[in-house]
Structure 1
Amino acid sequence: MIRAFDLIFSLLGLVLSSPVLLIIFVIGLFDTGSPIFKQERVGRDQKPFILIKFRTMKLNTISVATHLASTASITPLGSFLRRTKLDELPQLWNVLIGEMSLVGPRPGLYNQEELTKARSARNVYAIRPGITGLAQVNSIDMSTPELLAKTDKDMIDNFTIKNYFKYVMLTVLGRGSGDRMK
């Protein structure tokens, strides 16, 4: 049933937000010259997939977790996109093709070994990663891997359709601060 909601809402989201996606893409061409950011992430069953977002950092920024990156790397457009969470919109494509869900644990990087280990121990990788979830609406990010893995597991263990819609609505309404940066 969740997959059906994911399909409907991601398709609807992509169609309805297409003018915004296009505007951000064009502005992004002027901001960095390369408005789309693609990065390999850890997916369901720890299989790799390519996450798609709008670029918010300069082109040559090293590939590390956001909390390890410098705020000096963020572009002017990127700052706005992060604050409004519009940088996440292209991930609706990842949801549509089945690599992600709207709700689930945020996909980490392969070099985040402590997080990967903590999530593996709790079987968090048994489900699709998500755009939002319990940790995100409570401003728990990847800078605290054990707490994040525990929160992800709590979300999975207490998952309901009601919570699915709750996390989506809280995210749309701006709850959660996103990943911390240096």
Structure 2
Amino acid sequence: MGVPVVQLPEQVIEALRQLLDDGETYQWATGDFICDVLDEFPQVNRSELVRQMADRTGSDRSTIRDWHNVARFFTKEVRKEFDMLTWSQLRACKHAGEEWRQYAEWAAAHMPAPVAVIRARIDNNGHDQPAWVHRWEGMQRLAQQIADDREAPDEIREACRLVVEYPN
């Protein structure tokens, strides 16, 4: 017996979307606050300030840096222009560097534009990568693990090596 497949009701998705939108507001506010603090102490090493903020609040340093970097990258004017996108979607667009705007515009035109899809488009220079490519790469990673497993039968290991070595 398989796992039942359930299509969540639209009201569940909308309620979660609203909660996420409300929840992501704090990320902008926190990022802006961190920017203000770093600007207030320009003579102090940024990593030292981040360390203190993280260690003294129980946060992770990478999270503090992430909030700061995203808030610094996207001005309030840009956030207003792309207010239909979440903090996470804009953060994904930042991954494109100077070309972030083309991906933000694409995401705005293709809502709900999952973060994974935005990142995949960036990684593939603006093109959608077919789903089978991701599956194939996952299969090759799994085949490599089996090929390296000395407990697996030799013929299985050899078959897995063929999968790993198959040209992409």
Question: Fold-level match, TM-score > 0.5?
Answer: no
Which of structures 1 and 2 has the bigger CA Rg? 2
Q: TM-score, normalised by structure 1?
A: 0.29
Q: TM-score, normalised by structure 2?
A: 0.31
More helix by share: 2
